[in-house]
């Protein structure tokens, strides 16, 4: 009987599963597991339909239900937070492991339908850094391990996501290359420098080939937050003034920092904050802006608005302008975002990523000229201003692209021989 091992990339924004056939020493390609699932989890408020909804279907149901249930996005980013222990949904308590296990089990079932087996072995991806604090980083990996156990796996190994992406790229080359891998997702930007050689693919001793690995928690979601801050928050009154005992004061920025993360907007839904916004509607020089702000909170429209913002970011990877149009009757927004604006508004984020890259290379004792190939993967790698920084450092000719959303899962499956002794050559 064929022996199968799964490679699962549980990502901040998207997740994927790939199957390794240990008998044929090859990846299993099947349309039932092709592509990615959005890393969304939604518990409908109505009791008429049972169980949570996952993936892109979760987003559609959440919007269909007028965003009245419990919706989870970017659960992966919560893993290192000791402050999050559990949450209650419809009188049932869920730990972070419980929530992630639901999604991992979903991916496992899809793959089991292909293999016809209850597969217990998995190589799970993890970022180079969940957290710069070692204790938090260790906690995040242990939580992910427990989630995998709850999902039905008993033999669990971890591989760094950028290393997995490197192995996916190695399957495409025919000669040795020293490669810098940049894996850019929704929550983290990770780097690996690795000496690849197709003749060594599948061997167990690859640690000597990995020259350096690292990363930072700056990626796609923060680019969305930058667009919200610079382009959209003025529509909610940022920069407005209000009358206070005859003096004109500027509305505090703290209100707007909160709405730059859609999942934090719920924390403004309290009597004190809503009363403040109601008073600002009457006292400010821009009353309609604060009416929109109130509606954003009370109508629970944060997620829907950020979907529009993200769509604009994606559009700007191929176009020079993109619309930010929101048609909610109480929150009308009709803006145009240019690529140059987007680049300027997110320049500090790109600088953080490239600044880290420069330090990372120096720490490895390497210059850009020492890198033969740059392999970029993950949706955020498509952002033009970020890619341009790699062209500046390495030259267009060295850049290679992967399957931006599935290469990590492929590489995780290709890592199987490194972790399971019976697969050794």
Angle at 102 between CA 97 and CA 105, to 5 degrees: 110
More confident residue, 162 or 393: 393
- Both structure tokens of 47: 């009791």
Residue 169 contacts by C-beta under 8 Å, 6 or more apart in sequence? 179, 181, 196, 373, 375, 400, 402, 407, 411
What is the pairing mode between strands 26-28 and 14-21? Answer: antiparallel
| Mean model confidence pLDDT for the chain | 91
Start-to-end CA distance of the chain, whole Å, equals: 19
Q: What is the pLDDT of residues 63-101, one digit of tens each?
A: 788 777 888 888 898 899 998 888 988 888 999 999 999
Share of the chain above pLDDT 70, in %: 96
- Residue 403 — very low, low, confident or very high, per pLDDT cuts 50/70/90? low
- Both structure tokens of 219: 């990626």
- Both structure tokens of 234: 């003025």
Q: What is the pLDDT of residues 111-129, one digit of tens each?
A: 999 999 999 999 999 988 8
User: Exposed, middle or buried by CB within 10 Å (0-12, 13-18, 19+), for 356?
Assistant: middle
Instruction: Indicate if the pLDDT at residue 299 is higher than 50.
Output: yes
DSSP conformational letter for 30: -
* Cα(311)–Cα(315) distance, integer angstroms: 6
Report pLDDT for 407.
85
- Residue 1 — very low, low, confident or very high, per pLDDT cuts 50/70/90? very low
Q: Does residue 231 contact residue 341 with C-beta atoms inside 8 Å?
A: yes
Give the C-alpha distances (Å, rounded to integers) separating 165 from 68, 151, 311.
38, 24, 25
* Cα(253)–Cα(116) distance, integer angstroms: 55
* Cα(273)–Cα(303) distance, integer angstroms: 19
Alpha helices in 188-301 (DSSP H): 220-227, 254-258, 271-283, 287-298
Q: Which of 49-63, 181-195, 215-229 has the highest mean pLDDT?
A: 215-229
* Cα(68)–Cα(299) distance, integer angstroms: 9
More confident residue, 3 or 96: 96
- SS3 assignment, position 9: strand
Q: Does residue 54 contact residue 15 with C-beta atoms inside 8 Å?
A: no
Report pLDDT for 127.
87
Q: What is the pLDDT of residues 311-330, one digit of tens each?
A: 999 999 999 999 999 999 99
Residue-wise DSSP of 321-390 = EEEEEE--TTS-EEEEEEHHHHHHHTHHHHHHHHHHHHHHHHHTT--GGG-SEEEEESGGGG-HHHHHHH
- Inter-axis angle of helices 302-315 and 55-64, to 10 degrees? 130
Least confident stretch, 9-23, 200-214, 346-360, 401-415: 200-214
Report pLDDT for 48.
53
Report pLDDT for 136.
94
Report pLDDT for 60.
85
Report pLDDT for 404.
62
Report pLDDT for 257.
93
Q: What's the helix, strand, coil split of the chain in %, to 5?
A: 45, 25, 30
Report pLDDT for 205.
65
Instruction: Indicate if the pLDDT at residue 49 is higher than 60.
Output: no
Q: What is the pLDDT of residues 271-283, one digit of tens each?
A: 999 999 999 999 9
Domains of the chain from N-terminus onward: 4-174+403-423 (3.30.420.40)
Question: What is the rounded radius of gyration, in angstroms, for the C-alpha atoms of the chain?
Answer: 23
Q: Does residue 55 contact residue 40 with C-beta atoms inside 8 Å?
A: yes
Instruction: Indicate if the pLDDT at residue 47 is higher than 70.
Output: no
Query: What's the mean pLDDT in 372-376?
Result: 94
Give the C-alpha distances (Å, rounded to integers) separating 174 from 90, 171, 207, 371.
55, 8, 21, 17
Q: Which residue, 361, 353, 300, is CA-closest to 328?
A: 300
Q: Does residue 415 contact residue 9 with C-beta atoms inside 8 Å?
A: no
Residue-wise DSSP of 272-310 = HHHHHHHHHHHHBS-HHHHHHHHHHHHTT-HHHHHHHHH
Q: Does residue 93 contact residue 87 with C-beta atoms inside 8 Å?
A: yes
DSSP conformational letter for 153: -
Q: What is the pLDDT of residues 164-190, one digit of tens each?
A: 888 888 888 999 999 999 989 888 899
- Residue 56 — very low, low, confident or very high, per pLDDT cuts 50/70/90? confident
């Amino acid at each position: 009987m064929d022996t199968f091992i799964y490679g699962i990339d549980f990502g901040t924004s998207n997740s994927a599963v790939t199957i390794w056939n240990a008998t044929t020493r090859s990846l299993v390609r099947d349309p039932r597991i092709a592509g990615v699932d959005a890393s969304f989890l939604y518990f409908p408020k109505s009791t008429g339909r049972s169980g949570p909804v996952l993936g892109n279907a979760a987003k559609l149901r959440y919007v269909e239900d007028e965003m009245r249930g419990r919706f989870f996005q970017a659960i992966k980013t919560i893993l290192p937070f000791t402050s999050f222990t559990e949450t209650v949904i419809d009188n049932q308590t869920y730990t972070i492991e419980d929530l992630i296990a639901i999604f991992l089990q979903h991916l496992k079932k899809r793959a089991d339908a292909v293999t016809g087996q209850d597969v217990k072995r998995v190589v799970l991806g993890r970022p180079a850094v969940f957290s710069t604090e070692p204790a938090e980083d260790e906690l995040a990996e242990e939580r992910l391990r427990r989630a995998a156990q709850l999902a039905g796996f008993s033999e669990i190994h971890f591989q760094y996501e950028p290393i997995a992406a490197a192995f996916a790229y190695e399957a495409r080359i025919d000669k040795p290359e020293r490669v810098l891998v940049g894996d850019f997702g929704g929550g983290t930007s990770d780097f690996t420098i690795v000496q690849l050689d197709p003749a060594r693919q599948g061997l167990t001793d690859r640690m000597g080939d990995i020259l350096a690995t690292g990363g930072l928690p700056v990626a796609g979601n923060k680019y969305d937050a930058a667009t919200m801050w610079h382009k959209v928050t003025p529509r909610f009154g940022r920069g407005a003034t209000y009358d206070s005992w005859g003096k004109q004061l500027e509305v505090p920025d703290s209100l707007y920092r909160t709405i730059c993360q859609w999942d934090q907007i719920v924390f403004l839904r309290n009597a004190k904050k809503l009363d403040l916004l109601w008073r600002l509607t009457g006292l400010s020089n821009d009353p309609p802006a604060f009416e929109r702000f109130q509606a954003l909170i009370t109508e629970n429209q944060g997620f829907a608005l950020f979907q529009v913002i993200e769509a604009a970011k994606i559009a700007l990877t191929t176009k020079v302008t993109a619309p930010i149009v929101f048609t909610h009757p109480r929150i009308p927004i009709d803006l145009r975002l240019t690529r140059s604006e987007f680049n300027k508004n997110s320049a500090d984020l790109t600088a953080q990523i490239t600044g880290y890259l420069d330090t990372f290379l120096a720490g490895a004792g390497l210059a850009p000229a020492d890198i033969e190939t740059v392999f970029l993967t993950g949706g955020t790698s498509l952002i033009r201003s970020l890619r341009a920084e790699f062209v500046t450092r390495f030259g267009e000719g060295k850049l290679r692209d992967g399957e931006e959303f599935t290469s990590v899962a492929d590489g995780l499956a290709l890592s199987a021989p490194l972790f399971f002794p019976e697969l050794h050559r």
